[in-house]
Amino acid sequence: MPKRILSGVVTSNQNAQTVTVSVERRLTHPIYKKTIRKSKKYRAHDENNQFNVGDKVSIRECAPKSKTKRWEVMTDEMMQAYLSEKAEAAKAQQVSDEQRHEEREAAEH
């Protein structure tokens, strides 16, 4: 199962190798149809203490690092690897879609 990736803003970096990230999501109220903002705080592992309060970061799920940490901050290398992996998956999906389309066209004619 793929790891979830969320983006948010660092709200605290007081603890060693840990940052608190506030992730905001927007949803529409089911009855009133008004857009509501909900936020949740996650504690994420920051190996080199490189992120400060106010920084926009992406966090991803990981194996538990401590009692409260189940997330880790994605560094530039992690983001590059994730984006290249995503691009390769999209290309593979496009190729398989084209093959399926060609097979369907051949079967119809």
Nearest partner of 11 among 47, 31, 48, 40, judged by Cα? 40
Beta strand 71-73 with 18-28 is unpaired
Q: Measured in whole angstroms, how far is the alpha carbon of residue 62 from the centre of its chain?
A: 12
Give the pLDDT confidence of 68-100 residue by residue, as tens digits.
Answer: 999 999 988 888 998 999 999 999 999 999 999
- The confidence score (pLDDT) of residue 109 equals 75
Handedness of CA 13, 16, 17, 22 (dihedral sign): negative
- Residue 21: exposure state from Cβ atoms within 10 A (0-12, 13-18, ≥19): buried
pLDDT band at 102 (very low <50, low <70, confident <90, very high): very high
Is-above-0.75 flag for pTM? yes
